[in-house]
Homo-oligomer: A and B are copies of this chain.
Amino acid sequence: MRGVIMYAPGDVRVEDRPDPIIVEPTDAVIRLAATCICGSDLWPYRGAEPVDHTPMGHEYVGVVTEIGAAVATLKVGDFVVGSFFTSDNTCEICRAGYPSHCVRRTPIGREGTQAEFARIPNADGTLVATPGQPDADLIPSLLAASDVLGTGWFAAVAAQVGPGKTVAVVGDGAVGLCGILAAKQLGAERIIAMSRHADRQALARRFGATDIVEERGQDGIARVKELTGGLGAHSVIEAVGTQDAMDQAIRSTRAGGHVGFVGVSHDVSIDGKGLFFSGVHLHGGPAPVRRFLPELIQLIWDREIDPGVVFDLTLPLEDAAEGYRAMDERRATKVLLTV
């Protein structure tokens, strides 16, 4: 099969890779319908994380082509959505709602889903079948559910978004934008998007943002406070992963409010005294996307949400290198690869 390999920072190639096979009886193999490039794939691309002839990709939707002997809930031909960690969905941690921390989790990144086929361990606990074969125009949204929507949704849930609440969203990438969509669906009264880019502001408004704040740092915090009677937002989503974004998020939240943080932390350090006296709640981490997939798939199936519009560039898998370049150079927010 064909698949993406990152040889080294900046060096992405599409090559022949061995076809995946069933290794464990709990595995499935899927034929990808679409895959995509993640903001987190840019870290190794830019040399900020080690990479050496590494298969890439951890977002995926597709059709089951083979199942292991122990797979009970899926059959060949099912159209499925999964997430970036596999999970058994039966352990105590999964049952408590945290499949991304499942005691038997495996990272899908290891399989590399920017490819024609992929092996999915823990298939029963990981893959969720759609109600039928999806119309082609639903595929981008189903693919978004695999990571950016699931992650933005978790951020909103972690930030305790709900009716009557004012939500601020730090980060206008695909995850932040999906966080806005989630906040709207979860009933937020007011949604403040922090963004300086006209195209992303437009998408933020389409997804439900009621206010746009272009200021950053101290000025951004002051602006959010100004919009919230001096108190700060009830709920703040942090979808970047930098020190500035985390500081901004904590300090834009009112005492007793909630920060949901899903930006993968890079060199972030949280001042204990500042956090103590802020009185905020802090929760985040790798999103337990599997928890939300049944609900998200149904919302997409019923055409109530259209997160797939976060993909602003679609390329064939063979052109993956151009997709990486486009995201690196910020010519694209999120690139979908057709398979």
Residue A216 lies at the interface, judged by CB distance under 8 Å to chain B: no
> Provided the pairs A261-B276, A266-B273, A269-B271 are in contact, do residues A256 and B286 lie with their beta carbons within 8 angstroms?
no
- Report yes or no: B98 in contact with A279, Cβ–Cβ below 8 A: yes
Contacts of A272 in B (CB 8 A): 243, 246, 265-270
Contacts of A279 in B (CB 8 A): 98, 100-101, 285-286
Residue A93 lies at the interface, judged by CB distance under 8 Å to chain B: yes
Docked complex Cα distance between A278 and B273 (Å): 20
Contacts of A101 in B (CB 8 A): 255-256, 279
- Report yes or no: B256 in contact with A97, Cβ–Cβ below 8 A: yes
User: How distant is A289 from chain B, measured CB to nearest CB, in Å?
Assistant: 13
- Report yes or no: B282 in contact with A282, Cβ–Cβ below 8 A: yes
Residue A215 lies at the interface, judged by CB distance under 8 Å to chain B: no
Docked complex Cα distance between A93 and B229 (Å): 11
Docked complex Cα distance between A273 and B263 (Å): 10
Pick the contact of A270: B243, B256, B275, B285 (CB < 8 A). B275
- Report yes or no: B282 in contact with A283, Cβ–Cβ below 8 A: yes
- Report yes or no: A277 in contact with B286, Cβ–Cβ below 8 A: yes
Query: Residue on B with the closest CB to A282?
Result: B282
- Report yes or no: A93 in contact with B231, Cβ–Cβ below 8 A: yes
Pick the contact of A282: B103, B266, B277, B281 (CB < 8 A). B281
Contacts of A267 in B (CB 8 A): 272-273
Docked complex Cα distance between A231 and B96 (Å): 12
Residue A214 lies at the interface, judged by CB distance under 8 Å to chain B: no
Contacts of A264 in B (CB 8 A): 273, 276
> Provided the pairs A93-B254, A231-B93, A269-B271 are in contact, do residues A286 and B276 lie with their beta carbons within 8 angstroms?
yes
- Report yes or no: A270 in contact with B270, Cβ–Cβ below 8 A: yes
User: How distant is A166 from chain B, measured CB to nearest CB, in Å?
Assistant: 11
Docked complex Cα distance between A231 and B100 (Å): 14
- Report yes or no: B268 in contact with A269, Cβ–Cβ below 8 A: no
Query: Which residues of A line the B interface, CB within 8 A?
Result: 92-93, 96-98, 100-101, 103, 229-231, 243, 246, 254-256, 261, 264-273, 275-286, 288
9 A-B pairs with CB atoms under 8 Å apart are A92-B231, A97-B256, A98-B256, A101-B279, A264-B276, A268-B271, A270-B272, A276-B286, A281-B281
